[in-house]
Amino acid sequence: MNIPTDQDRVLIFDTTLRDGEQSPGATMSHDEKLEIAEMLDDMGVDIIEAGFPIASEGDFEAVKEIAERSKEAVICGLARANYKDIDRCWDAVKHAERPRIHTFIGTSPLHRDIPGLSKDEMADLIHDTVSHARNLCDNVQWSPMDATRTEHDYLCRVIEIAIKAGATTINIPDTVGYTAPRESADLIRMLIEKVPGADEVVFATHCHNDLGMATANSLAAVEAGARQIESTINGLGERAGNTALEEVVMALKVRNDIMPYQTRIDTTKIMQTSRRVAQVSGFAVQYNKAIVGKNAFAHESGIHQDGMLKNAETFEIMRPEDIGLASSQLPLGKHSGRAALRDKLNGLGLEVGDNQLKDIFVRFKSLADRKKEVYDDDIIALVADTAGDK
Ligand code: KIV
Ligand code: ZN
């Protein structure tokens, strides 16, 4: 599970239950976490970061129980660069069929300042903590936090140390969402080319969305050789969030012609997982959110509705069923045309002649000017009114 055998395979690492839950106000209960972990496992997520076991007794218990109940997925816990964190993490994840310890430390100048460590002291600490984790678990992920603002020579040096100490996955976090697609790709490519031992490990990309580029940055990293994408459902995460799982997975599916990489995700489970994460986290999904927003498969304007009724591919690049939605929506509003109104009437089982349709259409437009959306009940009432006029 550490290293994809197939070079085209991209591992999907989900951190909804760890980085996602770090969104202020997104705390989930123990049972909710278990439920989400099961959904993620069932949808084919390769690695589930279930929590930060040292953070609280509750987080420890949740990670432990998720580990015990896990099926296919690797269960990972987060630990800072100290033995106490790493031991606590191992005590929680060791119950999984496939456990992973993920340990990290901030390597950029700003982050090195916080513990007040020199470059050499931090390098020694990385060696010791990764070795310690590897003595406990044969699946160890190491992250240089704020990698995208770390000096390249130091980044290469510490990654080499982590690999020699036994890390099997090297994750490159863009902790503050600072990078841009070309830079994200260049960084991964440079690391894979320069760091001794890089070909023995999986490189991962972990992007935040502060500039709205997390998805683009993650995909650029994959094109440069990263084979694990870290993401969350609905892009939940600190500040502007993390890379949205549904976006990278569907981008790789829909544009497989130019990004020929495979994931193991059953995309038909995306919608139900998105809805459940929104419910339990309390973070509603914005209407125009890519893939899972209420309007992602909805068309109101007449030209679009007419096109959709003739051939859905005119205005949709993926099928709603591919993400587990029953169908697209053609909500009626002031931009809608006669074709969508006729389709709605047919759908409601209401038969009207051409003259009555003309009447209904005029009244419908006038109503739509006053209302944001015209509902089925409104249409039924219009049909009854116009029938009375005849
Ligand atoms: O954004 C980040 O740097 C993180 C690390 C802990 C991997 O979430
Ligand atoms: Zn993060």
Give per-residue pLDDT as tens, 148-157. 999 999 999 9
- Model pLDDT for residues 64-109, shown as the tens digit of each residue: 999 999 999 999 999 999 999 999 999 999 999 999 999 999 999 9
- End-to-end Cα distance, the chain: 71
- Model pLDDT for residues 50-59, shown as the tens digit of each residue: 999 999 999 9
**pTM for this model (two decimals):** 0.95
Ion ligand 2 nearby residues (CB, 5 A): 19
Atom of ligand 1 minimally distant from the CA of 15: 8
DSSP string spanning 213-249? -HHHHHHHHHHTT--EEEEBGGG--STT-B-BHHHHH
Atom of ligand 1 minimally distant from the CA of 147: 3
Residue 256 labeled ligand binder: no
Cα–Cα dist 300/269, whole Å = 26
pLDDT band at 6 (very low <50, low <70, confident <90, very high): confident
Cα–Cα dist 74/50, whole Å = 10
CB atoms within 10 A of CB 120: 9
Between the alpha carbon of residue 276 and those of residues 206, 222, 241, 285, the distances in Å are: 23, 28, 17, 11
Q: Does residue 2 register a pLDDT over 60? A: no
CB 300 within 8 A of CB 246: no
Cα–Cα dist 82/285, whole Å = 37
- Model pLDDT for residues 298-314, shown as the tens digit of each residue: 999 999 999 999 999 99
Could you give the 3-state DSSP secondary structure of residue 207?
A: strand
Per mean pLDDT, which range of 114-118, 212-216, 230-234 is the poorest? 114-118
Run of H or E including 49: strand 47-51
- Model pLDDT for residues 122-160, shown as the tens digit of each residue: 999 999 999 999 999 999 999 999 999 999 999 999 999
CB 384 within 8 A of CB 350: no
In the chain, the percentage of residues whose pLDDT exceeds 70 is: 98
Q: Does residue 258 register a pLDDT over 80? A: yes
Pocket of ligand 1 (CB under 6 A): 19, 104, 143, 145, 171, 173, 175, 206, 208
**What is the DSSP secondary structure assignment for residue 320, as one 8-state letter?**
G
The CA 48 to ligand 2 mean position distance, Å, reads: 14
Cα–Cα dist 272/326, whole Å = 11
Which conformational region is residue 76 in: left (phi greater than 0), alpha (psi within -120 to 50 degrees), or beta? Answer: beta
